[in-house]
Amino acid sequence: AQSVTQLGSHVSVSEGALVLLRCNYSSSVPPYLFWYVQYPNQGLQLLLKYTTGATLVKGINGFEAEFKKSETSFHLTKPSAHMSDAAEYFCAVSEDDKIIFGKGTRLHILP
Amino acid sequence: ETGVTQSPTHLIKTRGQQVTLRCSSQSGHNTVSWYQQALGQGPQFIFQYYREEENGRGNFPPRFSGLQFPNYSSELNVNALELDDSALYLCASRAGTSDFYTQYFGPGTRLTVL
C-alpha cells in the first residue's frame, strides 16, 4: 500500500520568507502526487498535482513542487510567504481510485 | 470553488442515531468518493461510487453506507452513530476519463455526535 509522510506537523515562517513543506511518499508504481490546502472550517482545495512529464509543477497562489523519484519526495515551496498562506497543507498520493493523505502540516505565518 | 456542494454544513446528532449526508458532484463528473476527516488528521477514504455502484471501500464498518443517483449526486448514511464518528465528512468528485486521478472536494459537512 502506498503512504505519505509529511515532516513537521507545524511549520512557522516569517512573512516574505521561503516556505518549504516536506513530503515523502512510498509507492511501488509511478505515483500521482497532489498537494491540497485547507483553510479553517473549509474543504480541500487542490494546489497542484504531478501525474507525468515535467517534474517541477507549478500551482496556484505561487506554490510549486518538485517530484524527485530518487528521493521519493514531493516538497512544496513558495518563494515569499503571505499572511493569507496560513492554512493546513496536505500531501497526497493516488492509489487505484482513492487518495491517500498525509497527516497534514499547519503553516503559521509570522508578521 | 470546485462546483461540488454538500449539505448540511453542520449537524449535531446523539449516539445511536442515524444520519444522511448529501453531495452534489461537479458537472460532468460521474465518480464520487467520501472521506472522513477527524480533528487534526488527514482525510480517510470511506468509499467510492461509479455509475450508482460502490467500486471501492476503505476500512470502515458496514454501518457506513452510500448511494449514488442517476444524476451522479450521492448520499452517505451512517447508522448507530458513535462518538468517534464526529468528524468533517468530505465528498469528492472526479471525471471518468480525462484528469482521471484528480479529485475535487466539496466544503464538507461537520458532524458532531454527542
Dump pLDDT digits (tens) for A67-108: 999 999 999 999 999 999 999 999 999 887 788 999 999 999
Taking the Cβ of residue A104 and every Cβ of chain B, the question of whether any pair is shorter than 8 Å is answered with yes
What is the structure's pLDDT at B97? 61
- According to DSSP, the β-strands at B109-113 and B10-13 are parallel
Dump pLDDT digits (tens) for A11-25: 999 999 999 999 999
Q: Nine-digit cell at A1?
A: 500500500
Q: Which among A80, A82, A79 is positioned nearest to A109, based on CA atoms?
A: A82
What is the structure's pLDDT at B1? 61
Beta strands in A43-104 (DSSP E): 44-50, 56-58, 64-68, 73-78, 87-95, 98-101
Taking the Cβ of residue B8 and every Cβ of chain A, the question of whether any pair is shorter than 8 Å is answered with no
Check residues B96 and A5 and name the one with the higher pLDDT.
Answer: A5
What is the structure's pLDDT at A79? 97
Which chain B residues are Cβ-neighbours of A34 within 8 angstroms? 102
Nearest CA in chain A to B33: A98
Per-residue CA distances from A39 to A43, A73, A108, B16, B63 (Å): 7, 24, 12, 31, 30
pLDDT at B84 over 80: yes
Check residues B50 and A108 and name the one with the higher pLDDT.
Answer: A108
pLDDT at B102 over 90: no
Q: Which among A98, A58, A8, A35 is positioned nearest to B59, based on CA atoms?
A: A98
pLDDT at A1 over 80: no
- Give the mean model confidence (pLDDT) for residues B60-77: 94
> Residue B82 carries which DSSP code?
-
- To test the contact with chain B by mutation, choose from A4, A10, A33, A44 the residue with the greatest count of B C-beta atoms within 10 A, namely A44
- Give the Cβ contact number of residue A69 at 10 Å: 11
